[in-house]
């Protein structure tokens, strides 16, 4: 019996750790799944009042790309190639297109998909958190990572919804590679960066940011032998360096084919001063977005010598990724395409990394080094002064943190002073708080108010041109979604037409049968190519469209002399059956 007893004891001893690991995994999985599900439900509820697109041409561009992929297998916009745009999000929208019975249903399904994608960022955020936080704090960080003001973007057809979880996953893989830069781990980082780039061209900065973080870590960790450590780090990161070199060669070989997607227009020369100014302005916006104290805590940890190696990797990587992303938004803000705005929408991806650092600071007992903390406090108070005054009132949904200030009956200068005062109050909390409650309360107040104000702003924006969007799906119901319809824009006068273009966009967005757009007034301000339409002698309408559409939709104010199929329910537009003769596409009625 003795041998049998001994064997049983050994078996039970070896099985115990396995059972413990499984139970621990289950204990973690349930609350994390609850965070993801709860976030998806919240985002779905926030999307309920948003029944149509609001941001043009971003939403229209990716909707049309997804529709073309889903129904024709082509990556096209109004018949032209869409090679400038990311591929990943349209692929997801293509699946949505096949699920939805009509375009209105497909749009609702897409909003649900966005909610799920955004919420999935909690999973890699939790994995990052567990490297530096306790289990409870890590779950809190995962929850905060998806309860951001930017969650209101899930009601929009934005690449941000797919890019956000990919970005956080890339950061997790980068941390693992910084810990042990094996070939396999570096290949995972490279693969994640490629997927991120195929989602959003802004990700071109991710791999260089990772390599920069690796070099900085080598220098910081080896104060006495920095040159040797730097050379060793470069050698160990040869796969990453090779991937960057290969990417540069490919970009040069494909010059002129827009390898940077929509960001290719930003590749020009900029002055150092405007770039630095806009970079600081975007940092200031993110500071207000997060409630100031998290940014202050992050800066303290970044400059502190007495933190764990894991936390050092996290703060250094966050700083390097911030440099990369801020370079892109500074170039955007400084360019004519930035419209004089701050672009928090393009940098909010950093929020979970900063919030994890913030919670690590709280768990460490709110350390405030004697000389560093006052400098950080002064910095966070002064940062809002870098935001250009006009940017506060015009940034809108690109900078949710500014929405409250834009709605106050204050001058732009007073708005900036108000931000400085808020930052000063937060700085006092940062310097004097004795427990985690006040800093956390400030952070939560900023996040919750951002969600509420952002949602209200989104709902109010629907009122503009709302009458143009009442006829959802009327063309598809009249001639079928497989028909070939061209939308005509015959106006050649400026003025109120900007609002009226919303009617054409509505017809195109919610009717799959509308496959092309022809304009007598050039581009429509949505960044999508249009066919050129000319009006010749005898009111002859000429358009060169290879597909030869059978129907045309046009505003009622410019009737065509061809058979009418139906009129939109609101009476805004008329659908015609075309009967092309000679060089004339159709004739306008007298």
Q: How confident is the model at residue 8 (pLDDT cuts 50, 70, 90)?
A: very low
Residues 298 and 421 in one domain: yes
Distances (CA, A) of 286 to 137, 187, 574: 22, 31, 47
What confidence category does residue 6 fall into, taking pLDDT thresholds of 50, 70 and 90? very low
Same-domain check for residues 353 and 431: yes
What proportion of the chain, given as a percentage, has pLDDT over 90? 67
3-class secondary-structure state, position 489: strand
pLDDT digits (tens, 9 = 90+) for 533-542: 887 777 788 8
**What strand order describes the sheet that includes 564-567?**
564-567, 573-577, 551-555, 485-489, 514-519, 531-536, 540-543, 586-587
Domain stops at, among 440, 463, 486: 463
> 315 and 442 in one domain?
yes
* pLDDT tens digits, 472-483: 899 999 999 999
Same domain, 448 and 319: yes
Backbone angles phi, psi at 580, to 5 degrees: -60, 135
Q: Please provide the DSSP assignment of 30-51 as one string.
A: HHHHHHHHHHHHHHHHHHTT--
Domains of the chain: total: 2
Pairing of strands 80-81, 485-489: unpaired
One domain for residues 551 and 415: no
Task: Give me the mean pLDDT over the 341-362 stretch.
Answer: 97
Averaged over 260-288, what is the pLDDT?
A: 81
- pLDDT tops 50 at residue 489: yes
Asked whether residue 497 carries a pLDDT value surpassing 60, the answer given is no
> What is the bridge-based pairing of β-strands 80-81 and 76-77?
antiparallel
For the beta carbon of residue 37, count every other beta carbon within 10 angstroms.
13
Place 7 in a pLDDT band, splitting at 50, 70 and 90.
Answer: very low
* Full domain range(s) for residue 416: 270-463
Q: Chain-wide mean pLDDT for the chain? A: 89
DSSP helix/strand/coil, 146: helix
Q: Is 75 within the bounds of a domain?
A: no
Evaluate the omega torsion of the peptide bond into residue 547 and state whether it is cis, within 30 degrees of 0. no
End position of a domain, from candidates 432, 463, 494:
463
Do residues 430 and 439 lie in contact, with contact meaning Cβ atoms separated by under 8 Å? yes
pTM of the model: 0.92
Name which of 97, 36, 111 is nearest 66 in CA terms: 97
What is the token pair recorded at 28? 């973690």
Whole-angstrom distance, CA of residue 307 vs CA of residue 311: 6
Q: How many of the other CB atoms lie within 10 Å of CB of 38?
A: 15
The Cα angle at residue 279 between residues 275 and 284, in degrees rounded to 5: 150
Cβ atoms of 336 and 273 within 8 Å: the answer is no
Q: 226-254: string of b/e by CB count within 10 Å (b at 16+)?
A: eeebbeebeebbebbeebbeebeeeeeee
Determine, yes or no, domain membership for 557: yes
> Cα separation of 236 and 356, whole Å?
28
Q: How far is CA 375 from the centre of its chain?
A: 32
> What local confidence, expressed as pLDDT, does residue 348 receive?
97
Residue 10 pLDDT class (50, 70, 90 cuts) = very low
SS3 call for 381: helix
| DSSP state for residue 418 in the 8-state scheme | H
Minimum mean pLDDT range among 267-281, 474-488, 575-589: 575-589
Q: Are residues 426 and 315 in the same domain?
A: yes
Nearest 5°: phi and psi at 84?
A: -75, -15
Q: Has residue 585 got a pLDDT over 90? A: no
Cβ–Cβ < 8 Å for 188, 438 = no
């Amino acid at each position: 019996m003795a041998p049998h007893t001994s064997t049983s004891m050994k078996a039970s001893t070896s099985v115990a750790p396995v059972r413990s690991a499984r139970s621990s995994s289950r204990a973690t999985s349930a609350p994390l799944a609850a965070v993801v599900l709860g976030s998806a439900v919240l985002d779905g509820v926030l999307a309920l009042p948003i029944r149509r697109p609001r941001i043009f041409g971003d939403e229209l561009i990716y909707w049309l790309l997804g529709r073309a992929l889903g129904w024709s297998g082509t990556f096209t916009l109004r018949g032209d190639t869409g090679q400038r745009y990311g591929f990943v999000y349209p692929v997801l929208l293509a699946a949505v297109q096949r699920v939805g019975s009509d375009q209105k249903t497909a749009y609702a399904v897409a909003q649900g998909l966005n909610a799920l994608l955004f919420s999935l960022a909690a999973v890699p955020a939790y994995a990052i958190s567990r490297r530096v936080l306790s289990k409870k704090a890590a779950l809190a960080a995962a929850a905060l990572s998806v309860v951001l003001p930017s969650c209101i973007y899930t009601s929009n057809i934005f690449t941000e919804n797919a890019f956000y979880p990919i970005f956080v996953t890339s950061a997790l893989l980068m941390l693992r590679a910084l810990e042990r830069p094996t070939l396999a781990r570096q290949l995972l980082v490279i693969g994640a960066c490629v997927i991120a780039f195929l989602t959003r061209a802004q990700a071109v900065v991710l791999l260089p940011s990772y390599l920069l973080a690796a070099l900085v870590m080598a220098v910081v960790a080896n104060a006495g032998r920095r040159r040797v450590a730097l050379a060793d780090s470069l050698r160990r990161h040869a796969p990453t360096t090779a991937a960057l070199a290969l990417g540069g060669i490919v970009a040069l070989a494909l010059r002129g084919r827009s390898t940077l997607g929509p960001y290719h227009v930003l590749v020009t020369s900029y002055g150092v001063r405007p770039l630095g100014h806009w970079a600081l302005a975007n940092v200031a916006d993110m500071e207000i977005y997060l409630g100031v104290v998290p940014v202050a805590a992050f800066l303290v940890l970044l400059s502190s010598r007495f933190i764990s190696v894991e936390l050092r990797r996290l703060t250094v990587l966050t700083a390097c990724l911030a440099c990369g992303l801020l370079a892109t938004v500074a170039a955007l803000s400084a360019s004519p395409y930035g419209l004089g705005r701050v672009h928090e929408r393009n940098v909010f991806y950093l929020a979970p990394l900063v919030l994890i650092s913030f919670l690590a600071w709280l768990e460490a007992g709110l350390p405030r080094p004697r000389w560093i903390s006052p400098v950080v406090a002064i910095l966070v108070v002064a940062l809002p002064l870098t935001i250009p005054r006009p940017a506060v009132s015009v940034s809108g949904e690109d900078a949710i943190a500014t929405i409250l200030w834009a709605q106050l009956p204050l001058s732009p200068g007073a708005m900036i002073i108000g931000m400085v005062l808020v930052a000063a109050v937060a700085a006092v909390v940062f310097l004097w708080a004795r427990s985690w409650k006040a800093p956390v309360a400030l952070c939560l107040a900023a996040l919750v108010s951002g969600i509420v104000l952002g949602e209200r702003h989104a709902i109010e924006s629907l009122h503009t041109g709302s009458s143009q969007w009442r006829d959802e799906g009327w063309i598809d119901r009249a001639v079928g979604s497989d028909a070939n319809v061209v939308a005509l824009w015959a106006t050649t006068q400026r003025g109120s037409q900007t609002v009226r273009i919303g009617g054409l966009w509505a017809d195109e967005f919610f009717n799959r049968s509308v496959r092309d757009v022809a304009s007598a007034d050039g581009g429509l301000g949505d960044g999508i190519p249009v066919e050129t339409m000319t009006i010749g002698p005898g009111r002859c309408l000429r358009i060169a469209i290879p597909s030869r559409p059978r129907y045309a939709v046009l505003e009622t104010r410019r009737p065509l002399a061809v058979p009418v199929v139906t009129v939109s329910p609101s009476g805004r537009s008329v659908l015609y059956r075309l009967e092309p003769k000679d060089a004339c596409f159709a004739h306008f009625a007298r």
